[in-house]
Structure 1
Amino acid sequence: MESFHASFKKEKVYQRTYKDYHEADLAQFSYIEGFYNSRRIISADGYLTPDEKEQLVS
């Protein structure tokens, strides 16, 4: 979880300023659902994305 927060801050939080809460919330959702869960591989999970790992255990 700490690794996720570090990645999120580096890739989304520190690179820009959001004009309001809604814009920041939308960016967070977009990052998690559009990139982190679907395309970013996790070495601790055998180099699978979180979506791929979830499909294996379902």
Structure 2
Amino acid sequence: MCAILNVSRSGYYAWTTRKESERNKRRSRLEVQIRRVFLESRRLYGSPKVTQILRQQGVPVSEKTVARIMKELGLKSRTVKKYKATTNSRHNLPVYDNVLAQKFSAQA
């Protein structure tokens, strides 16, 4: 396998026994916290709101970092459309007569 990857054997084994860096540890913790907050919000919160909640919990993190991690994890917030009434039948405006008086029944 080392020959295929063009890596020395000692380098491969050094890599497998290497400790995880502090940066990767922090990122792993952030991923877990972001996923937890996102799922607690019933998948409604985007990166600004998730960032705000994490900061309230004492986690120092930027919104861009949260957005990047959410994108990599495939976490997208659901958008809820507001209800908009399209027809208002309760009005006192004049209603026009049916001038055409079409009958929509076919003979054949």
Query: With structure 2 as the length reference, what TM-score do the two structures score?
Result: 0.23
Higher Rg of the two aligned structures: 2
> Which protein is richer in helix relative to its size?
1
* TM-score, length basis structure 1: 0.36
